[in-house]
Chain A
Amino acid sequence: MINEIISMNGYGAYVWSAFSFTLISFAVLYTVIKIQLVKEQRKIKQKFAILNYKKIKIAKTQNIYREILDNTSISKI
């Protein structure tokens, strides 16, 4: 049964390489986009860390900043 699934009547190499290529492409794209996202989240967190109280107050009046910080996987302010 397992041998049949692997060899697929001699077409196994083609079928498995097509599926492997697809899944590897998915993994690479997901990793690249995730790295970019985390990088930007880290940047915004670092910027918030050096802002003074007054500027933080101004920034936090915008809901989107609160959302970004709440959903930052690396930290929650």
Chain B
Amino acid sequence: MLNFFEPNRIFAITSKAPKYVFFIFILVLIIGLVEALVISPEDYIQSHSVRIMYVHVPAAWISIGIFSIISILSFGILLLKIKNFSLVAKSLAPSGLVFNIIALVTGSIWGKPTWGTWWAWDARITSMLILLLFYLIYILAWRIFENTNQVNKITSFIAILGLINVPIIKFSVDWWSTLHQPASINLLSETSIHSSMLIPLSIMTAAFTLFALLIFLMKYNTELIKIKNKGLDRL
């Protein structure tokens, strides 16, 4: 089973997949943008500013999701010593970072008409900013350290430490009194968002996921070719 994760086996798929993923991403993104900007209704309180939700929420979800995956893979790197996991984790980080920045910036833009301020040191926003710092430290560690064993251990440690922040982000709106509204979508209980808004939100989430997958595949191929380049030097 673990042989499946061998880069030599996966590369045959990852090298061909980006062009198909790119095509599907563009298609889904166009449908999502039309739904989000034209078809979906305005909110009775927030009016049209609610449309920012269609980029803010998926970006936040995906940035948290990617960091969680990196952290879980880090356990695999440290405990099971699967080296390809570090390559996968490293390739996931850039898109996670960009989605985190998008979530913070679009949240700030949404905050101005809704709360009357661009920024508040609110628990949810602050914990998302901490996640951004973890992403930056994680990516910087890959650039600073050159020894493979050392960098694998350090980056895994950073990711596992950052995992503590993930439930804080999730439950911050319940634990503290915050400006940020509580979750409208819950997998375990009834969703308080109307289907006319849930559909564009789902399509935009699918588009953003496809983009994250596209960037991951391209970055993973780059890293693999980099390794193989070094291999040629040793021939």
Q: Which residues of A contact B (CB under 8 A)?
A: 5, 8-9, 11-12, 14-15, 17-19, 21-22, 25-26, 29-30, 32-34, 36-37, 40-41, 43-44, 47-48, 51, 55, 58-59, 62-65, 67-68, 70-71
Q: Please tell me the size bucket of the interface on B.
A: 35 or more
A21 / chain B contacts, CB cutoff of 8 Å = 102, 105-106, 109
**Beyond A18-B52, A18-B110, A67-B12, 6 additional pairs, beta carbon < 8 A:** A18-B56, A33-B215, A34-B218, A51-B232, A59-B235, A67-B15
A34 / chain B contacts, CB cutoff of 8 Å = 218
Bound CA span A37–B102, Å = 24
Bound CA span A67–B16, Å = 9
Q: Is the interface of A mostly helix, strand, loop or mixed?
A: helix
B181 / chain A contacts, CB cutoff of 8 Å = none
A19 / chain B contacts, CB cutoff of 8 Å = 33, 36-37, 51, 55
A62 / chain B contacts, CB cutoff of 8 Å = 8
Chain B 24-65 interface residues, beta-carbon cutoff 8 Å to A: 33, 36-38, 42, 47-49, 51-52, 55-56, 59
Contact A11 B113 (CB under 8 A): yes
Q: Is the interface of B mostly helix, strand, loop or mixed?
A: helix
B76 CB to nearest chain A CB (Å): 22
Contact of B48 among A8, A37, A59, A63 (CB under 8 A): A8
Contact A25 B11 (CB under 8 A): no
B202 / chain A contacts, CB cutoff of 8 Å = none
Q: Could you mark each residue 148-186 of chain B with 1 if its beta carbon is under 8 Å from any beta carbon of chain A, else 0?
A: 000000000000000000000000000000000000000
Contact B106 A68 (CB under 8 A): no
Q: Could you mark each residue 198-212 of chain B with 1 if its beta carbon is under 8 Å from any beta carbon of chain A, else 0?
A: 000000000000010
